[in-house]
Chains A and B, each alone.
Chain A
Amino acid sequence: MRNAALWLDSRFGLEEHTIAHYAWVIVGIAGIVQMVGAAIRMAFGVLVDPLVAAFGWSPGSIGIAYALMSIITALSSPLAGYLGNRYGARRTMTAGTILFFIGMMWTSQTKEIWELYAAYGIVFGVSQALLLVPVVPAVASWFRRHLGLGTGIMMVSWSLGPALVVQALAVLFATVGWSEAFMIVGIVGTVILITILLFFRNTPEEAGRIAYGTKKTDNPLITSGNVFVSTQKEFQRYVYKTNAFWNLINIHFLGCVGHAVILVGIIPLGISKGLGPLAAAGVLTTISIVSVATRFAAPVLAERMSPKLVMFVSFFGQGLGVFLLFTANSTLDFYIFAVVWAIPFGGEGTTFPVMIRKYYGHTPMGTTYGWQLLGAGLGMALGGLLPGMVFDITGGYGWAIGLSGAFSLAGAVAILLLENPRRQLIPNWPEMEMTPDGAVGDSRTTVSQTEISPASGD
Chain B
Amino acid sequence: MKSAASNQPTVVSTPNLQGFEIKRRPIVGLGLLMSSVIGSLAVLIYFGAWASTDRIEIRVLAAEISGLQAEGEWWEDGLIFACPLH
Contacts and interface: CB of A to CB of B under 8 A. Distances in A.
A329 to B, nearest CB: 25
Contacts, number: 133
A21 B3 CA distance: 11
Contacts of B24: 241
Interface in B1-42: 1-6, 8-17, 19-22, 24-30, 32-33, 36, 39-40
Instruction: Bin chain A's interface residue count.
Output: 35 or more
SS class, residues of chain B in contact with chain A = loop
Interface string A245-261: 11101100110010000
B86 to A, nearest CB: 11
Nearest to B19: A449
Nearest to A257: B40
Given A210-B3, A253-B36, A445-B17, A224 B51 contact: no
B26 A246 contact: yes
Contact of A208 (B5, B28, B36, B48): B5
Interface stretch (A117-125, A179-187, A227-235): A227-235
Contacts of A198: none
B29 A209 contact: no
Instruction: Bin chain B's interface residue count.
Output: 35 or more
A253 to B, nearest CB: 6
Interface of A: 18, 20-22, 204-205, 208-210, 212, 220, 222-228, 230-231, 234, 238, 240-247, 249-250, 253-254, 257, 382, 386, 389-390, 392-393, 399, 403, 410, 414, 417, 426-427, 430, 432, 439-440, 442-445, 447-449
9 contacts: A223-B8, A226-B11, A231-B14, A231-B15, A389-B47, A392-B51, A393-B51, A403-B43, A443-B12
Given A208-B5, A245-B29, A399-B47, 11 more contacts: A22-B1, A22-B2, A220-B8, A231-B14, A234-B14, A241-B24, A243-B26, A250-B36, A440-B8, A442-B12, A443-B12
